[in-house]
């Protein structure tokens, strides 16, 4: 079973090298995922993210590629690009800061079955090794309450950047995904649920990492507006399954 790891990246020159080293080293020791691929999607970075990702190079067991956007389009757009370009039987969406360690992949794989497994900080908060600032935590909890009310009832943490998708589902999602901003996670989960795909939340280790690309005040209004859009699609049939061949 082949694995594709999709890492959206924007101005991540300071950590993309160590992140890729950790991911490649870990995947090299997991024969059941070979051959694996790692797709870094550089979302119009102004630094050396792309060149450093490319310099990591491939190994016989792990193929590393860097895909580039000419301008910054948003994390959702980067994920869509990575999913569409993937070839894996399973797609792991992984943040460039490795706030959830790559080793937690096995927790998701064991729980996923034929569906989607998403890392969650809400299932067992004892696994949070370094909590985020109180105001970030409060905003996250408030947003997740809105997610449960308007989009995906029963999912308590839609925003953890560690999710495992079936490859065919991920590529179908890429063909219809519309949101480019940080609410893209909610759209992916809402569409998947509307298509009848099983989603399970899995407790994972997580730690707050400084230099987050999320600006709470600047992005909150955009995320709320996108959440209302998703609620409208859900209400009026805008989350329909395009089928294996896409829209």
pLDDT tens column, 143-173 = 888 898 899 999 999 999 999 999 999 999 9
Average pLDDT, the chain: 92
Place 212 in a pLDDT band, splitting at 50, 70 and 90. low
165 forms beta bridges with 91
pLDDT of residue 138: 82
Region 198-215: what's the mean pLDDT?
84
The overall longest dimension of the chain from CA atoms, in Å, is 48
pLDDT of residue 145: 87
Which secondary structure element, helix H or strand E, spans residue 159, and what is its range?
none
94 with 7: CB under 8 angstroms? yes
Place 202 in a pLDDT band, splitting at 50, 70 and 90. very high
Instruction: Calculate helix-pair angle for 167-176, 75-85, nearest 10 degrees.
Output: 130
pLDDT of residue 101: 96
8 with 43: CB under 8 angstroms? yes
State pLDDT tens for residues 95-133.
Answer: 999 999 999 999 999 999 999 999 999 999 899 988 888
pLDDT of residue 114: 93
pLDDT of residue 139: 81
More confident position, 5 or 244: 5
Q: What's the gap between Cα 47 and its chain centre?
A: 22
State pLDDT tens for residues 48-87.
Answer: 999 999 999 889 999 999 999 999 999 999 999 999 999 9
Q: What is the DSSP letter of 115?
A: S
Q: Rg of the Cα trace of the chain? A: 17
Does residue 247 surpass a pLDDT of 80?
A: no
Distance CA 161, CA 155 (A): 14
pTM: 0.93
The listed CATH number (3.30.930.10, 3.40.50.880, 3.90.550.10, 3.30.2030.30) that belongs to domain 3-235: 3.90.550.10
pLDDT of residue 125: 86
Straight-line distance from the first to the last Cα atom of the chain, in angstroms, rounded to the nearest whole number: 27
């Amino acid at each position: 079973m082949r694995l594709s790891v999709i890492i959206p990246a924007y101005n991540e020159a300071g950590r993309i090298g160590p992140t890729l080293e950790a991911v490649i080293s870990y995947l090299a020791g997991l024969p059941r995922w070979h051959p694996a691929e790692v797709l870094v999607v550089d979302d119009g970075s102004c630094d050396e993210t792309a060149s450093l990702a490319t310099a990591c190079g491939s190994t016989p067991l792990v193929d590393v590629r860097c895909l580039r956007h000419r301008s910054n389009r948003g994390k959702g757009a980067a994920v869509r690009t990575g999913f569409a370009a993937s070839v894996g039987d399973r797609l792991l969406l992984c943040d460039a800061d490795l706030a959830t360690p790559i080793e937690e992949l096995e927790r998701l794989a064991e729980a996923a079955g034929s569906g989607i497994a998403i890392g969650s900080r809400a299932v067992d908060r004892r696994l949070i090794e370094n909590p985020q600032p109180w105001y970030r935590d409060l905003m996250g909890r408030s947003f997740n309450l809105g997610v449960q009310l308007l989009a995906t009832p029963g999912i308590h943490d839609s925003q953890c950047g560690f999710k495992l998708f079936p490859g065919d589902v991920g590529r179908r999602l890429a063909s219809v995904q519309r949101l480019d901003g940080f609410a893209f996670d909610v759209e992916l989960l809402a569409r998947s649920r509307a298509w009848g795909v099983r989603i399970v939340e899995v407790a994972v280790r997580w730690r707050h990492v400084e230099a987050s690309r999320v600006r709470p005040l600047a992005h909150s209004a955009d995320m709320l507006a996108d959440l209302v859009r998703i609620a409208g699609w859900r209400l009026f049939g805008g989350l329909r399954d395009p089928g294996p061949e896409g829209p």
